[in-house]
Amino acid sequence: MRQICCDLRQKHELGCSIWKGAFFTRKYLHICALNIILVLKKASEQMDLKTKLNILGDAAKYDVSCSSSGSSRGAPKGGLGSGCSAGICHTWSADGRCISLLKVLFSNACKYDCAYCVNRRSNDVPRATFTPKELIDLTLEFYRRNYIEGLFLSSAVVGSPDATMEKLVYVAKELRTVHRFGGYIHLKAIPGASPRLLYEAGLYADRSSVNIEIPSDRALQYLAPEKNFKSIYSPMNFLAERKLEYHADRRMRSAPKFLPAGQSTQMIVGASGESDLQILRLSAGLYHKQQMKRVYFSGYVPVNADKRLPALTTKPPLLREHRLYQADWLMRFYNFGHEEILDESNPNLDPDLDPKAMWALRHPEFFPIDLQTADYEMILRVPGIGVKSAQLIVSGRRYCTIRMEQLKKMGVVLKRAKYFIYNPDIPANLRRLYPEMVRPMLIARPKPAQLDFFGQLDTPALPAPAIQALSAPAQLRPAG
């Protein structure tokens, strides 16, 4: 490929010199042009669809969003594809992340140079661009085999934001109108794209997203000089407003919807120095003001050597990401406010304890609660009781007393819950403990590991004999 590009450049230069010299005949020029076209054609043929798919899939894999939920729709007449409001996961990759959409970039030849991104223009990575037809065929063929739930189309910025967005919208429009495709379509909104294109994207896509990536404006401008919060928020706000407007005007049930599955965004955790409180506050704002359906967190995987970023050998902060997702769940399904989970005095989540247990230990005044009489909201706040078990408890307690055996069968984690609930089957002394005494019991003990035969011990069991041997002559020396 690179060979061909070089070839092409030489030919192009040749063509230029010919043009400048202007003493060749017009016929020769014509042949030159033909040659260039041939070489171009050869280049695009050489990179087959499989290679392109691998390059552009690989470039898109750091995008976390994969959900296919929030849109319910039957197959269009004469077409194929439906939307399932709960979303359907189709498979899980070796890192345990679900794959439900064909997540690819339209092109990875980016003009920006964001420090954290694998596709930045200063990186030496293979570049590829789909043609709309290739991408549409691929989506439909994968969909018919039930490999995917739909298409997640993003792109590096090629040329201008508008030119890029136009390509994405074209693919979505073609799928929806020509192929009568009813499956899920997630389109990235390119920051800086014109309102007309964004609006059109909303008409064809189920969900749209603009990634914040870095959770503070200052750090974002430092790491991605071409971006700032304003350029990211403006398409987000535009789409949120249009959605409200559109659905207020929508009279007919059968009228098409505008972004039925709403918007999502993503931020990288661990690339810049934000605290968990800052991240949660930002995501709570996005849920309320921008009406986000999901805010994703992505533990920073070092892909570029850059002095502005953590070193390449840094491990992705997977535990921190996990704790943030737990906190996110508390905000979305457990009626927690972000200020309840974290505050200025403890701005970071505890790596040893989940945020719900952390909250419960900080608020002993609410516990123990009686499952027989407590509010549903309060039962939800007990560590070890989830939404499903809480609902079961609430619907069952009208008819009988909930015993420990039933709790166990429901899937309540009694190991954690027993310190926080009042139940006749649980020893009373457990709920009289102070939070400081409960804390070590909630923390999972590390499993005893087999010692490595040739490994070094961190803390030696006995004082090393070498120290005595060294100190003995030192004592002797003055005497000698």
Nearer to other proteins, 83 or 191 (CB): 83
- Could you tell me the smallest distance in angstroms from the CB atom of residue 391 to other proteins? 9
142 is an interface residue for other proteins by CB under 8 A: yes
SS3 at position 107: strand
Nearer to other proteins, 24 or 376 (CB): 376
Distances (CA, A) of 235 to 69, 194, 346: 22, 9, 34
Of residues 422, 426, 408, 435, the one with CA closest to residue 370: 422
Q: Which of 2, 21, 86, 450 binds other proteins (CB under 8 A)?
A: 86
Q: Which of 19, 24, 28, 147 binds other proteins (CB under 8 A)?
A: 147
Does residue 110 contact residue 163 with C-beta atoms inside 8 Å? no
Report the DSSP beta bridge partners of residue 91.
Answer: 99
Q: Which of 4, 47, 79, 237 binds other proteins (CB under 8 A)?
A: 79
- Could you tell me the smallest distance in angstroms from the CB atom of residue 400 to other proteins? 6
Where does this chain touch other proteins (CB under 8 A) — which range of 37-45, 171-179, 211-219, 397-405? 397-405
- Could you tell me the smallest distance in angstroms from the CB atom of residue 25 to other proteins? 46
Nearer to other proteins, 224 or 393 (CB): 393
Sequential DSSP letters for 130-143: --HHHHHHHHHHHH
Question: How far does the chain reach from its first CA to its final CA, in angstroms?
Answer: 79
316 is an interface residue for other proteins by CB under 8 A: yes
Site string for other proteins, 34-73 (x = CB under 8 A): ---------------xx--xx--xx--xx-----------
75 is an interface residue for other proteins by CB under 8 A: yes
Question: What residues from 285 to 314 belong to the interface with other proteins (CB under 8 A)?
Answer: 299, 301
Query: Token pair of 289, please?
Result: 């003001």
Q: Please give the distance of CA 76 from its chain centroid, rounded to a whole number.
A: 30
Of residues 267, 261, 248, 327, the one with CA closest to residue 291: 261
Q: How far apart are CA 184 and CA 203, in angstroms?
A: 13
- Could you tell me the smallest distance in angstroms from the CB atom of residue 140 to other proteins? 10
- Could you tell me the smallest distance in angstroms from the CB atom of residue 148 to other proteins? 9
CA angle, corner 429, sides to 425 and 435, nearest 5?
Answer: 115
Give backbone dihedrals phi and psi of 194, rounded to 5 degrees, phi first: -75, 150
Number of residues that bind other proteins (CB under 8 A): 58
Q: How far apart are CA 470 and CA 397, in angstroms?
A: 73
Residue 91 carries which DSSP code? E
128 is an interface residue for other proteins by CB under 8 A: no
Question: What residues from 148 to 167 belong to the interface with other proteins (CB under 8 A)?
Answer: 149
The owner of tokens 């247990």 is 357
370 is an interface residue for other proteins by CB under 8 A: no
Nearer to other proteins, 88 or 369 (CB): 88
Nearer to other proteins, 90 or 242 (CB): 90
The owner of tokens 């930045």 is 120
Interstrand relation of 98-99 and 91-92 (parallel, antiparallel or unpaired) = antiparallel
410 is an interface residue for other proteins by CB under 8 A: yes
- The residue ranges that bind other proteins (CB under 8 A) are 49-50, 53-54, 57-58, 61-62, 74-75, 78-82, 84, 86, 88-100, 102-103, 138, 141-142, 144-147, 149, 299, 301, 315-316, 318, 392-393, 395-400, 402, 406, 409-411
